[in-house]
């Protein structure tokens, strides 16, 4: 079968596709069938140089334009993303394996939201005025200049947009390196920006594995780096940024807790657990993979969960009825199956799933383990697959202590009908985001990011502006200068 997704060039530099056949090969595999659907090349030093030089040359003029003008370009690009949502969703499905039912609502559509929202606030990016007697001071929010964005494979176009939209709104240029596993949709976003009127050089896409990302960060022209990826990569990238004293935003992994109190609406809690573990085949950083259920409702919760999970429909991700796609790659499949085998060997109770399904594709059945203890690898390691661990607890205090006993702190959830308890618990959970009676909703209006090992900085919301701009203080003297001699 031909999928017709081979791009004209592997990269997108200075307003057009760029080819570079010298770079190492980057095959693109459709995870549902294991077929190769495109072949790209990694960026060579010449491509990296062209991308950085083009970005450096472009940002000052862009930054000098009124915010309202920058915002207009972003909002036009948002409209084009929406007009082309079907085509972009199909591409994202082929690149990631995620069901089209998901990509139609959560990928290019979320990217469009980010462009629209940051387009809307671009004109409002401003400093403050401070009166100092006769004198006064003011602050200016200025762009960094050249920013680097590095993406993960789970939400390729969404990540590219969540990083580039605030960067561009603030007057920066961005050089973006998608994950080597999912390189295609960022190229489309680059095309769309140009179509919307973005001057060339302001959103550059270069492909490659980790070494290409590392080369970008090391360059003196780069003032800021934003990564979405795993914690080990985050440490490396943050270290490299620190060596150059560059600003950094790190969106990393998690092992987030979801706490179900006995007074919760159990069907809503089961729905939250399904969304927070099996959507995107579990490949979401904020997933609530440690589901703590209060003892008295545990078996009821598990029974309802098993019934609902049996309704998952694995299959052709391009079929609108499919609700469960494959994992992104063979390597991820092997990693997830290794975690499942470890869970079985450690004595957790397998409630459902636990096996591969389908033919050549990288499908894993939605898997629920019960009787998981805090020490098991299932409860400690980020699996990034459709594997839910259910743990039981007796008291609110115990649940909070165990939920927080992790090096991570990306997200957390509480299901309860007691309004005071909900807010009390949300206040005590060590997490960047807490959901009450829902899970994994990440609208662009709200800041998103982690604490502890899950990250540094925030994406989305007004908060993101602080992470894509720097403050300049201007002091204005209104009288003479009083010097000692």
Ligand X SMILES: NC(=O)C1=CN([C@@H]2O[C@H](COP(=O)(O)OP(=O)(O)OC[C@H]3O[C@@H](n4cnc5c(N)ncnc54)[C@H](O)[C@@H]3O)[C@@H](O)[C@H]2O)C=CC1
Residues that bind ligand X (CB under 6 A): 150-154, 177, 179-181, 209-210, 213-214, 217, 227-230, 233, 236-237, 251-253, 285, 382, 384
Ramachandran quadrant class, 200 (left: phi over 0; alpha: psi -120 to 50; beta: rest):
beta
Catalytic residue among 251, 382, 396, 459: 251
C-alpha–C-alpha distance, residues 282 and 286, integer Å: 10
- Residue that is written with structure tokens 């397998």 in the block: 350
What whole-number distance in Å separates Cα of residue 102 and Cα of residue 88?
Answer: 12
State how beta strands 35-41 and 25-30 pair: antiparallel
Nearer to ligand X among residue 354 and residue 432 (C-beta): 432
Q: Cβ 411 to ligand X, closest distance in Å?
A: 11
Nearer to ligand X, 229 or 315 (CB): 229
Least distance (Å) between residue 357 CB and ligand X: 20
The CA distance from 455 to 365, in Å, is 30
Question: Which whole-number Å values give the CA distances from 322 to 32, 312, 361, in the listed order?
Answer: 12, 8, 14
The whole-angstrom separation of Cα 428 and Cα 411 is 12
Pick between residue 143 and residue 229 the one whose CB is nearest to ligand X: 229
DSSP 293-321: EEGGGHHHHHHHHHHHHTT--BS-TTSTT
| Phi and psi at residue 191, to the nearest 5° | -60, -45
Q: How far is the CB of 13 from ligand X (least distance, A)?
A: 18
For ligand X, the closer CB: 117 or 162: 162
> Min. distance of Cβ 166 from ligand X in angstroms?
17
Three-class secondary structure of residue 257 per DSSP: strand
CA dihedral over 185, 279, 464, 241, signed as positive or negative:
negative
Q: What distance, in Å, lies between the first and last C-alpha atoms of the chain?
A: 84
Question: What Cα–Cα distance (Å) separates residue 42 from each residue in 38, 39, 177, 187, 376?
Answer: 13, 10, 10, 14, 39
- Shortest spacing between CB 178 and ligand X, in angstroms: 7
Residue number with CB closer to ligand X (153 or 301) = 153
CB of 413 to ligand X, least distance (A): 17
Give just the sign of the alpha carbon dihedral 396, 398, 399, 401: positive
Using alpha carbons, select from 397, 374, 378 the residue that is nearest to residue 386.
378
CB-nearest residue to ligand X: 213
To the query of whether residue 251 is one of the catalytic residues in this protein, the response is yes
- Least Cβ distance, residue 149 to ligand X (angstroms): 10
- Residue closer to ligand X (CB basis): 50 or 160: 160
C-beta closer to ligand X: residue 144 or 153 = 153
List, by residue number, the catalytic residues. 251
């Amino acid at each position: 079968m031909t999928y017709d997704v081979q791009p004209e060039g592997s990269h997108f530099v200075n307003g057009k596709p760029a080819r570079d056949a010298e770079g190492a090969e980057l095959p693109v595999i459709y995870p549902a069938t294991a077929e190769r659907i495109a072949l790209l090349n990694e960026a060579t030093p010449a491509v990296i140089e062209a991308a950085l030089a083009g970005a450096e040359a472009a940002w000052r003029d862009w930054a000098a334009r009124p915010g309202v003008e920058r915002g207009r370009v972003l909002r036009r690009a948002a409209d084009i993303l929406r007009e082309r949502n079907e085509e972009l969703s199909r591409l994202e499905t082929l690149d990631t394996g995620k069901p089209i039912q998901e990509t139609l609502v959560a990928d290019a559509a979320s990217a469009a939201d980010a462009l629209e929202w940051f387009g809307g606030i671009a004109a409002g990016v401003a400093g403050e005025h401070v009166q100092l007697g006769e004198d006064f001071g003011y602050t200016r929010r200025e762009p960094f200049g050249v920013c680097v964005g590095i993406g993960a494979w789970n939400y390729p176009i969404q990540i590219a947009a969540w990083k580039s939209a605030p960067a561009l709104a603030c007057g920066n240029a961005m050089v973006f390196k998608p994950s080597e596993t999912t390189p295609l949709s960022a190229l489309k976003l680059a095309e769309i920006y140009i179509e919307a009127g973005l001057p060339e050089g302001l959103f550059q896409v270069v492909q490659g594995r980790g070494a290409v990302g590392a080369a970008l960060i090391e360059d003196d022209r780069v003032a800021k780096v934003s990564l979405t990826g795993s914690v080990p990569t985050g440490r490396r990238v943050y270290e490299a940024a620190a060596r150059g004293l560059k600003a950094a935003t790190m969106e990393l992994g998690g092992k987030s807790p979801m706490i179900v109190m006995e007074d919760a609406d159990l069907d809503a809690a089961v729905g939250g657990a399904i969304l927070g573990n099996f959507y995107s085949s579990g490949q979401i950083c904020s997933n609530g993979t440690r589901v703590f259920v209060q003892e008295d409702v545990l078996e009821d919760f598990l029974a309802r969960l098993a019934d609902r999970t049996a309704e998952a429909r694995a299959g052709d991700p391009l079929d609108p009825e499919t609700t469960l796609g494959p994992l992104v790659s063979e390597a991820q499949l092997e990693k997830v199956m290794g975690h499942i085998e470890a869970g079985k060997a450690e004595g957790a109770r397998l409630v459902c799933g636990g096996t591969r399904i389908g033919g050549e594709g990288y499908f894993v059945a939605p898997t629920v383990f019960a009787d998981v203890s805090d020490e098991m690898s299932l409860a400690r390691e980020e699996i990034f697959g459709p594997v839910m661990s259910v743990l039981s607890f007796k008291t609110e205090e115990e649940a909070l202590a165990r939920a927080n006993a992790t090096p991570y702190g990306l997200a957390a959830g509480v299901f309860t009908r007691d309004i005071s308890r909900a807010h009390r618990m949300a206040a005590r959970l060590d997490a960047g985001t807490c959901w009450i009676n829902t899970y994994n909703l990440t609208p662009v209006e709200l800041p998103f990011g982690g604490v502890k090992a899950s990250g540094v900085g925030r994406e989305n919301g007004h908060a993101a502006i602080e992470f894509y701009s720097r403050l300049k203080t201007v002091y204005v003297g209104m009288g003479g200068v009083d010097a000692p001699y």
